[in-house]
Structure 1
């Protein structure tokens, strides 16, 4: 079995916790995809084990930290500011902020224009 293959890294916290969810779960996943498209690596690849080994953190540990708000996706330093802001709004654990993200997705503009 290949590590990192599947959908768990893209799943919203409320879905992982078995809670009631709505379209905000898809918005969360969209934010993870934005990070993945920007960095061109699997989500949370930056998460390293704390034992000093330098190994990538196992998916279960990544998901636990993400659900607790201790880990989130990253974006490259050269990414469009509007995309980074949208991505972080989408993966926000603050449901009020996340609820506005779907409208924000329609308002994203190219910073270079």
Structure 2
């Protein structure tokens, strides 16, 4: 996977919050939206990181970008580039350590399309 920087750094690696600074409220607010829950569910169910464009979403590209931003700011995903593709990785181990059982309870039974 790419850099584990928490803030700043390269223009190619967006800033990622330290999970110590994220509260349960922010995580739940990010996951209340069905599109964001779908994104997290796809990442949860898969065995690899996914490019933004490979997750089928019922929203425009700009709206999808907003949803990925909300998930990143809530500490749920880590984003990095491979070539021109922005990749998304679920911060599953970190989330499980910070909020045990939460991801499994909310998206663990996510049906794959």
| Higher RCO (Cα < 8 Å, 6 or more apart) | 2
Q: Same fold (TM over 0.5)?
A: no
**TM-score (normalizing by structure 1):** 0.29
More strand by share: 2
Instruction: Answer with 1 or 2: which has the greater Rg.
Output: 1
